[in-house]
Amino acid sequence: MRVPLGMLLLCGLAAAQQAPLFRGGVVLVHVDAEVTAPDGRVITGFGRDDFRVYDEGKAQPVVLFSAGEEALDLILLFDVSGSMRPKVMEVADAAQLGVQELRKGDRVAVMVFNSKPRLLAPFTEDLESVERTIHDDVLSQPFAGSTLIQTAVDDAAVRLMRQPRTQRRRAVLIVTDNFGQRSRRESTVVRDFWEADATLTALVVRSTAVETFHTISTIMSPQLLAIQVGVKGITEKTGGDFIHAEDAGGAFQEAMHRIRSRYSLYYRLPDAKPQSTRTVHVELTGEAAKKHPKARVRARTGYVVPVHPEEGTVK
């Protein structure tokens, strides 16, 4: 299983896809990546040699690489605050379609939030029970109260951090209108996602009426801008997607597919102080960069060095 904080301890593991054979313990940093065109479309067909990874500004050889769908440890996080009330039916339809994207082997937990986050269903591989939870419990919420969105996504990251490490890809998918009140330091939330080795993807659904209300409110009371906050910065720093959903159902399916089918890159952990944060940057290189000069690589922008990486094992 993965060791804490996105590290992998390889002990005599023969890796696939051109990776070398490692003997003894080698600690690797794990980074998920996605390549998108300027219009937001996902670009596929890349290999290990198409990526270059920088750790604290220094290029690092990619020693392990995988592409293709992976099973998920996924938290579905639904905004049930008052501003989401006009979009309840759209959220219902999106959720029904989104659940169809789940696969055998996935583990899913369901949470909701307004002024505080609440766990409706713990992690389970019973996908039918996930669908029932969404239909019976999420959609029966009163959809009222304030929106402490930073608190909610941070709680989700911490829950993932506490889960046993496996080969599953870890992610939080939040369905929200992205209108919230400041309740955490963004840097704190991002660090928790880095430590959980998880991405945050946001599916943003908004009604015209609510958007107009927020616009008028901030014009009349400019000080509201100082306390309003969303999650776009967190999605970017964790390597996730921020998707505006004109068609919520289709967007939900697209978000699930993107979470599942990212590239996995691994490089050797440089000498570093435990619990320190280090920056990461991923870019296309060589012919891939020439062919797609305006492409963007989405990947987390940092990680937290583990305290005891030697305690990890790989199945």
One-letter amino acid of 214: H
pLDDT of residue 308: 65
Residue 307 lies in a domain: no
**What's the CA dihedral at 178, 181, 187, 193 to 10 degrees?**
-50
Residue 293 lies in a domain: no
- 107-113 vs 117-124, strand pairing mode: antiparallel
Q: How far apart are CA 283 and CA 210, in angstroms?
A: 38
Residue 179 lies in a domain: yes
pLDDT of residue 219: 52
For the chain, how long is the longest CA-to-CA vector? 65
Summarised one tens digit per residue, pLDDT across range 79-108 is 999 888 877 777 777 777 778 888 999 999
One-letter amino acid of 45: G
Its domain, for residue 253, covers 72-260
Q: What is the CATH number of the domain that holds 91?
A: 3.40.50.410
Residue 231 lies in a domain: yes
Summarised one tens digit per residue, pLDDT across range 224-278 is 444 468 999 999 999 999 998 776 667 888 898 899 999 999 999 999 999 999 9
pLDDT of residue 179: 87
The parts of the chain modelled with pLDDT lower than 70 are 1-25, 206-228, 247-249, 308-315
Residue 55 lies in a domain: no
Beta-carbon count within 10 A of 304 CB: 22
- Domain count for the chain, please give it: 1
pLDDT of residue 217: 52
Query: Are the C-beta atoms of residues 4 and 306 closer than 8 Å to each other?
Result: yes
DSSP character at residue 8: E
pLDDT of residue 100: 81
Residue 180 lies in a domain: yes
Residue 30 lies in a domain: no
Q: What is the CA radius of gyration of the chain?
A: 20
Query: Are the C-beta atoms of residues 286 and 59 closer than 8 Å to each other?
Result: no
Residue 290 lies in a domain: no
